[in-house]
Amino acid sequence: MRKCRLWILMVAVGLLLTGILCPMLALAGEAPPQDTLNTVIKRGELIVGTFDFFAPWGFRDAQNNIVGMDPDIAAELAKALGVKLTLVPVPTTQDRINFLLSGKIDVAIANFGATLERARVINFSEPYVLDGIGVIYRKEAKIKSWSDLNGKRVAVTTGSTGEMLLKEQAPKANIQRFDQASTALLAVQQGKADAQIEDYTYTLYHASRDPNKALAALDKPLGIAQSSMGVRKGDMEWTYYINFFIYKSFQSGKLQEIYKKYFGVAPTKVSPTW
């Protein structure tokens, strides 16, 4: 009888320790949940990663300030939060993810195309721009479709959505990779590449501003893409807030106003109700 009571006591102690230790061990092995929303508010500063070489989305003005559509949207987000804005230039497409994971920025607002591959590593907001994949090319190249890019020298930004699609749609293209879209465009302008794959809005913008009138852009996108904001995984409150901010910005007309400022036309609706 005594042995039975002792056994019961040992089991009870074991269950008690299990109940105490298991949660502690689980917490020790897991990263704490992100809380960027409250961190930004307490800090009084929103740190946004954006491009400074990708006009008109983000570029440097004559005074070397970072300006463009994405910085304007970032300023509206900081205003909604009641905090000051700090813009951090993101040197490459991959650094949008690197800067998020390292905690260098709170959110990436940098012409960020949401893809399944990228979604394995970070979270995306709802889209704030519905764009496409376009081609800017030298007029003598006579590009009309994906198949026309086979055998051509095609400049891409390393790791971009355009590079991914080019590999699938024109596997025989001679791919030339660049860290920045501006240097890829320069290769086309100098005749070192026949074409560049980039966002549709980007190709239209730069083809219309080509000083030598040697470049053209397709009048229709080769594929559809969306631009979203990038946040860290597990940062759900922050994601919810940004999604609501995007919705309210559409409802107020502010996002349409910013888009028209840089592109001269109203944006394509990203939702039937927005």
Q: How does DSSP assign 194-209, residue by residue?
A: SEEEEEHHHHHHHHTT
pLDDT tens column, 34-48: 799 999 999 999 999
Higher pLDDT, 27 or 253: 253
State the greatest distance between any 2 C-alpha atoms of the chain, in Å, as a whole number.
100
In the predicted structure, residue 32 carries a pLDDT above the cut 80: no
Domain pair 36-130+225-263 / 132-224, same fold? yes
Confidence at 17, pLDDT banded by 50, 70, 90: very low
Contact 139, 214 (CB under 8 A): yes
Domain extent listing, the chain: 36-130+225-263, 132-224
* CATH of the domain spanning 36-130+225-263: 3.40.190.10
Within its chain, how far is the Cα of 269 from the centroid? 19
Q: What angle do CA 128, 267, 70 make, to 5 degrees?
A: 45
pLDDT tens column, 216-260: 998 888 878 789 999 999 999 999 999 999 999 999 999 999 999
pTM above 0.75, yes or no: no
Per the structure block, which two tokens stand in for 190?
């100098």
Residue of 203, 223, 270, 217 whose CA lies nearest to 243: 270
* CATH of the domain spanning 132-224: 3.40.190.10
Rounded Cα distance, 5 and 10, in Å: 9
Confidence at 159, pLDDT banded by 50, 70, 90: confident
What would the mean pLDDT of 147-162 be, rounded to a whole number?
Answer: 92
